[in-house]
Every structure is written in C-alpha cells, then in structure tokens.
Chains A and B, each alone.
Chain A
C-alpha cells in the first residue's frame, strides 16, 4: 500500500515537473549558433556564459543597433559610425558624427568576427568583452552621449521594446545590462567568412596568378601579425607610427596605446592588429585613421617607420616591396572583400 502511494506520489510529481519544463521551454529564448567557415581557422564560437546567442536577443540587438533614439539628441545610432555597407565602419579618419559634433580621438573600427576578439576590444584592448564595451559609445559625449537611465525610460515606455526584451531575457525590468547584452548578441552575428579568398580556400573558385603572387607576398611579409584565418593575431604591437606619446591627464593615457591598459612599457604606443578582411573597403587606416589609402600604409611600412623603444622587432627594417609586388599584394587584399557579408547585413528598407 505504502509503496503504491509513493509510486502515485512520484508519478504526480513527475508530471508536474514535466509541465513546468514545457512551460519554461515555450517561453524561453531559442539558443542559436552561427555556422562557422573552416577558413576562419577557429575551433569554436566564444561567448560569455551569461549572454549566449539567442534568436530573440539578436532581433532585439539589431533593432537597438540601428535606433538613433538611444542617443541624447535622437540622431546618432551605433550604425552612424558602423555602417553595414562599408563593413560597419564610417569611412572617416576621425568621425565627427556624434552628439557633440567633436571629432573622435580614435578611428571607428569595422565590426566583424568580434566573437573571436577575446584579447580585449577597442584599439587598445581596454574593453574585456562586448557587453562591457557598449557603454563606451552609448555614453561618451562625443558619440551617443546617452544617459543610461534615460535610455531605460525610453525603452520601457516604447510600444515594441518591452515585448522584445521579455522575449529575449524573460520577465524582468529593462536595465542597462540587458541593453548591452542584446547589442552584443547582434554584434557577434556579424561574421565575415565568404570572401573570394574563403571560396578559394574551399576550392570553389580559383585565384588569378597575380592574386596568387600577392598571397605569397602576404605570407612572407604580413602573415606573422595578420595571421591567416581571422587575418589578425589579436595581439598588440607598436608599428612605428610615432616617436613620442603625449599624455594630457584628462585623456587618461589615450595616446599611449595598450600601455594605458597594461602599464607594461613594451606596450607603449601599441595597438591591436586589425584584420585584413574587408581591408580595401575600410579605409582610412590605423587607430587614428592617419593613412587615407592602402598605398600610404605600404609606404609607411617601407620607409616611414619611427624606430622607438617599443617597436615590434619584426618591423625594425621595414617591409620593402617592388612596385610589382605591391600591385600583386593589393590584388590579393581585394580577394578579402566579402560582398556576401555586406549584402547580408545591408539595411533592408
């Protein structure tokens, strides 16, 4: 008899648990994992445990990314300085599209393959993850100049956002953390892996002989820092742009590069190696956009390097290329432009 009761009890208990789980499933967001091309040469899709990619989170994040109402004057969105049609950069050396109209002190970087930027984001790697980074551009007076409490108030009173937040994160009040998490999720879906180079590596197309020649010039001269796959070593190097680094206290070490984060003298004037993917559509170049063309970049590596105490050892003697080799290298760099990525993320409407 007592056994029967226990059995009955556990059956009832079981069915309760099951229905609870079903309920949870139906209301919880759908986890997704993007498809990753082997040509990126990565083994997994890194993301913080607290903010895994979900369908609902990405939808919300995309809406936030393109919403100028997040800014103090209602006119500046993330996409103002990260335009999809030029691989999410803005084409300016130091953009002045922010709320204050003042030019920025850093060049707006293109956005793609961010999930693998696990060594720190921003040119100096100061942001540990996208979730922490987003508060920078959202609140900086020369960017979106937002008050986070104002954003929360706007989103909470909007007709669409509360539902989208609930779908992505459950029934909780909208808070700054979740705004940033959604934007981070969308940003991690920006994956550039369909260039001609990728198709070639997958043996779907051939490279021309000049492109192939450029590929070997790349391997011999550029690949140690711009490592094949992501086309960056995700590390920080001083590439001989400057001899000294002014340090006005109010800029908190801005001109010192990675040193302002690590306080390691070897990092003085060092910045993160940018990816060469989409390089031909993301001019100007360097952390401050000082070089307008790829020719200027190659000139710098050939004869413009300022030898200084923290210079990357591999750049001591510069990189000298014949005119012909330069042309070949540029032909190869053109194969890294990812039209599919551009059209996939172009603003539809």
Chain B
C-alpha cells in the first residue's frame, strides 16, 4: 500500500515536472455550465414548490436569458481569450451550457461575460444562431432582444389568486457586464466552469420587489424593468 502511494506520488511529480517544462498543450478544452436555481434549489419549470423572495408561492413557466461576449482572463499575464461571435441563449429547458471548445492554454483566473446582448447586436433581429428570432426572445415591435425572460404564476398575497408574472427585460441600459474570479483552472487541462444563476436575485438587491405590491406584474420595459436590470447586474449569475 505504501509502495503504491509512493508510486503514485512519483508519477505525479514526474508528470507535473514534464508539464512545467514545455509540454503544456497549446490548447485546452473549456466549457461553462449554468445551474439555474430558486430558493437554493434547482429550478424546475411548472413545479409549484417555489416561493418568491417576497414570500408568494411561485410556479415558474419559462426562464431564459442571454449570456454574451464571454472572456477568460489570466490577470497575471494579461492574456485574455475573447470568444468570437459570443451570443448564448441559456434556456432552462434545453441549453444550460456554453462549449467554448479549444481555447489557448493559460492559467485563467477571471471570467467576464455580459447578461443580454451588446448595443450593436441588439439593433437588429435578422440574425442567426442563438440570435435567430425564432426563439421567442426577439421583440418585433421594438427591434431588439429580451435579455432576461421569466414567466410564471404566483399566489397574490392579498387576493390569494393565482396571478401571472411576466418579466421581459431588455434595452441597452440593461446590458450588464460581470467579472468574477475563478480558481482551479490549469493551463492545458480541460476546464469546466460552473456558474450559478439565482432567480431570487431578480427581486432582491439593490431593489427589493414585492410582486404582490407592484402596480403591474407584466414588466416589459420602463423604470421597473430597469430596476430589475440593476438587480441582475450583481449576484444573479456568479461562480458557484
């Protein structure tokens, strides 16, 4: 047993010393996965087991958002990998990951991404890939994309009735860029970065929203939408 341990140790040392020289592969496979959560649990659509931060029972029906312009940064060397044509629709039903494929090897220690799509991509909707307007995320009466979409039903605190909640948040002022430290990524080794998306955060910091007290629970623009934009700028998507 002891012998075995030493063998493993010797192998590891041998292996890493090789790596430390010049045998780090030039490219490494990298992927990002998202865990969509509410109340600290995995988000499940059409399940009635959730509550909103303001206390109302809530059944989520649709939850989708754009993550764009993803970059990995090595803050020590200044190396930055920026994914080209980087627009990803994260859909809680079908697509909960971003495959960056083979990227230049580096000890990346930061990730930068944006919620929504940048002003240039948001100015037109005749686009392909994840920006194809077939996804229900393009506005046709006001050219541009919904950045974050949440639809569901909650039990109203006063009327006790099931009430629709529709959040379609877009517009350029709600394009938010986030930089987070990441750890454990080693040049040349396959990397999986896990991000957690907390639906709760749409209703929390800095603008606490009590849905039962809102003048309208259909929010598709205007001041209230911008306040939700402020909320998702921090804490909504973060490193697990």
Output the nearest chain B residue to A137 by Cβ-Cβ distance. Answer: B140
List CB contacts (< 8 Å) of B54-92 with chain A. none
B6 within 8 A of A: no
List CB contacts (< 8 Å) of B209-232 with chain A. 216, 218, 220-222
Q: Which residues of B contact A253 (CB under 8 A)?
A: 221
Q: A135-B125, A175-B128, A252-B221 are in contact. Are A126 and B133 (CB under 8 A)?
A: no
B141 within 8 A of A: yes
For the complex, give the distance between the alpha carbons of A4 and B138 in Å.
59
Output the nearest chain B residue to A128 by Cβ-Cβ distance. Answer: B143
B142 within 8 A of A: yes
The answer to whether A176 and B140 touch across the interface, beta carbons within 8 angstroms, is no
For the complex, give the distance between the alpha carbons of A181 and B125 in Å.
11
Among A131, A152, A263, which residue has its beta carbon within 8 angstroms of that of B126? A131
Task: Give chain B nearest CB distance to A261 CB in angstroms.
Answer: 6
Output the nearest chain B residue to A127 by Cβ-Cβ distance. Answer: B143
Q: Which residues of B contact A148 (CB under 8 A)?
A: 132-134
Chain B contact surface mostly: loop
The answer to whether B143 and A177 touch across the interface, beta carbons within 8 angstroms, is no
Q: Which residues of A contact B221 (CB under 8 A)?
A: 252-253, 260, 263
A249 within 8 A of B: yes
Task: Give chain B nearest CB distance to A148 CB in angstroms.
Answer: 4
The answer to whether A132 and B143 touch across the interface, beta carbons within 8 angstroms, is yes
For the complex, give the distance between the alpha carbons of A250 and B141 in Å.
13
Output the nearest chain A residue to B140 by Cβ-Cβ distance. Answer: A136
For the complex, give the distance between the alpha carbons of A132 and B143 in Å.
6
Output the nearest chain B residue to A181 by Cβ-Cβ distance. Answer: B126
Among A127, A175, A177, which residue has its beta carbon within 8 angstroms of that of B141? A127
Max chain A Cβ within 10 angstroms of own Cβ: one of B123, B138, B143: B143
Chain A contact surface mostly: helix
B124 within 8 A of A: yes
Q: Which residues of A contact B216 (CB under 8 A)?
A: 249
The answer to whether B142 and A135 touch across the interface, beta carbons within 8 angstroms, is no
The answer to whether A127 and B140 touch across the interface, beta carbons within 8 angstroms, is yes
Among B123, B132, B218, which residue has its beta carbon within 8 angstroms of that of A175? B132
The answer to whether A131 and B134 touch across the interface, beta carbons within 8 angstroms, is no
Q: Which residues of B contact A261 (CB under 8 A)?
A: 142
The answer to whether B140 and A133 touch across the interface, beta carbons within 8 angstroms, is yes
Output the nearest chain B residue to A172 by Cβ-Cβ distance. Answer: B128
A140 within 8 A of B: yes
Output the nearest chain B residue to A106 by Cβ-Cβ distance. Answer: B141
Q: Which residues of A contact B123 (CB under 8 A)?
A: 128
B158 within 8 A of A: no
Output the nearest chain B residue to A180 by Cβ-Cβ distance. Answer: B126
Counting chain A residues whose Cβ lies within 8 A of the other chain, the interface size class is 35 or more
Encode A95-135 as 1/0 by CB contact (under 8 A) with B: 00000000000000000000000000010101111011111
For the complex, give the distance between the alpha carbons of A18 and B9 in Å.
62
Among B125, B140, B218, which residue has its beta carbon within 8 angstroms of that of A250? B218
List CB contacts (< 8 Å) of A14-62 with chain B. 48, 50-51
Output the nearest chain B residue to A184 by Cβ-Cβ distance. Answer: B126
Counting chain B residues whose Cβ lies within 8 A of the other chain, the interface size class is 10 to 19
Q: Which residues of B contact A180 (CB under 8 A)?
A: 126
The answer to whether A126 and B128 touch across the interface, beta carbons within 8 angstroms, is no
For the complex, give the distance between the alpha carbons of A253 and B224 in Å.
14
Max chain B Cβ within 10 angstroms of own Cβ: one of A122, A126, A177: A177
The answer to whether A135 and B127 touch across the interface, beta carbons within 8 angstroms, is no
Among B132, B134, B138, B143, which residue has its beta carbon within 8 angstroms of that of A126? B143
Q: A252-B220, A252-B221 are in contact. Are A132 and B125 (CB under 8 A)?
A: yes
For the complex, give the distance between the alpha carbons of A181 and B128 in Å.
12
Output the nearest chain B residue to A173 by Cβ-Cβ distance. Answer: B128
Q: A128-B143, A175-B132 are in contact. Are A51 and B126 (CB under 8 A)?
A: yes
Q: Which residues of B contact A136 (CB under 8 A)?
A: 140-141
A204 within 8 A of B: no
The answer to whether B125 and A249 touch across the interface, beta carbons within 8 angstroms, is no
Among A122, A128, A263, which residue has its beta carbon within 8 angstroms of that of B124? A128
For the complex, give the distance between the alpha carbons of A152 and B127 in Å.
14
Encode B110-136 as 1/0 by CB contact (under 8 A) with A: 000000000000011111100011100
Output the nearest chain A residue to B215 by Cβ-Cβ distance. Answer: A249
* Chain B residues proximal to chain A, CB less than 8 Å: 123-128, 132-134, 138, 140-143, 216, 218, 220-222
**A-B contacts, 23 listed (Cβ < 8 Å):** A122-B141, A126-B143, A127-B141, A128-B143, A131-B125, A132-B125, A133-B140, A133-B143, A135-B126, A135-B133, A139-B133, A147-B134, A149-B134, A175-B132, A176-B126, A176-B134, A177-B126, A180-B126, A249-B216, A249-B220, A252-B141, A252-B221, A263-B222
* Chain A residues proximal to chain B, CB less than 8 Å: 48, 50-51, 122, 124, 126-129, 131-136, 139-140, 147-149, 152, 175-178, 180-181, 184, 249-250, 252-253, 260-261, 263
- 7 tightest Cβ-Cβ pairs between the two chains A and B: A136-B140, A249-B218, A148-B134, A131-B126, A132-B143, A128-B143, A177-B126
